[in-house]
Amino acid sequence: MTKRHLFEVGVFNARVRAALAEGERHTDLSDDWADIHYFEVFAFDEKGARSKIERRYPPANGYVITDVKQIR
């Protein structure tokens, strides 16, 4: 049986960054989404960790994954 691992995934929102760069604000998200947020998820591999985060923070909504790192 394959063991699940703990991954740390970095995510920011490109639409928030773009709005702030133009001196504006995103209509739905706080300014802090311009910065990288780190989330921990359990998955069997990096692809699974990325997939879990993309379901919660879809690329179609401007979210960008910066890195996925196995931490345990």
pLDDT tens digits, 21-32:
999 999 999 999
pLDDT tens digits, 4-55:
999 999 999 999 999 999 999 999 999 999 999 999 999 999 999 999 999 9
The answer to whether the CB of 2 falls within 8 A of the CB of 44 is yes
How many structural domains is the chain composed of?
1
Question: Domain range spanning residue 65?
Answer: 5-70
CATH number at residue 44: 3.10.20
Q: How deeply is 8 buried, as exposed, middle or buried, from its count of CB atoms within 10 A (0-12, 13-18, 19+)?
A: middle
What's residue 1's pLDDT?
A: 60
Q: Quickly count: other Cβ atoms within 10 Å of residue 55's Cβ.
A: 8
Query: What is the enclosing helix (H) or strand (E) of 70?
Result: strand 63-70
